Amino acid sequence: MDFQLSEEHLMIQKAARDFAVNECLPGVIERDELQKFPKEQIEKLAELGFMGMMVKPEYGGSGMDTISYVLAMEEISKIDASVSVCMSVNNSLVCYGLQEYASEEQRQKYLIPLAQEELYIGAFLLSEPEAGSDATSQQTTAEDKGDHYLLNGTKNWITNGNSASVYLVIAQTDISKGSHGINTFIVEKNWPGVVVGAKENK
């Protein structure tokens, strides 16, 4: 087995390292202290194709392999963990889930802009005040209304939460089934009833 990085891997690693030093390092402490979302950095990552690294090209992604993704994450994480976790959520939790499990219509509508557009990012809504990130204990429900589902619940500690355009929301459709009644719903930020609460500073 060859454990050497390919030329492409080295190129991606260098691109990520250069980005981290030139775009993330300036102002990183100030952004952290002010709890400021790294909007400019995320926009530039999208331009580089780093927000949809493993998404297939037919869906607007870069079509890279896992090693490329890990190398990029490592380099950016060294400098700015906030930028890297925003990038990670969009790639690993949102884009991956949509590419692997969404319908073709949903991929066309959501995955393509998530993989390539600068101002369109996703968030993954699992954690709750009482359950933390224990999916089997989460209390958000989704009631089948025939032509739509009615979701009720509160999620918190959500990366990209206030800045995302689309959410993948974990909810119970049948509480009696326990973990087997848990499903994931695509929710747009501007839909009626969706409220993004103010962040609590403690």
The H-or-E segment that residue 1 falls in is: none
As given in the structure block, the two tokens for residue 128 are 């709750």
pLDDT (0 to 100) of residue 132: 86
pLDDT (0 to 100) of residue 46: 94
pLDDT (0 to 100) of residue 82: 95
C-beta atoms surrounding 163 within 10 Å: 16
Backbone torsions φ then ψ of 189, nearest 5 degrees: -60, -35
Kindly state the DSSP code that residue 136 receives in the 8-state scheme. Answer: G
pLDDT (0 to 100) of residue 201: 59
User: Residues 62-76: pLDDT tens digits?
Assistant: 999 999 999 999 999
Q: What is the pTM of this model?
A: 0.90
**For residue 184, is pLDDT > 90?**
yes
C-beta atoms surrounding 157 within 10 Å: 13
Alpha-carbon span 75 to 58, nearest angstrom: 27
**For residue 178, is pLDDT > 90?**
no
Who's near 20: CB < 8 A, 6+ residues apart? 75, 76, 78, 79, 80, 83
User: Residues 79-131: pLDDT tens digits?
Assistant: 999 999 999 999 999 999 999 999 999 999 999 999 988 789 999 999 998 88
pLDDT (0 to 100) of residue 114: 96
Mean of all residue pLDDT scores within the chain? 93
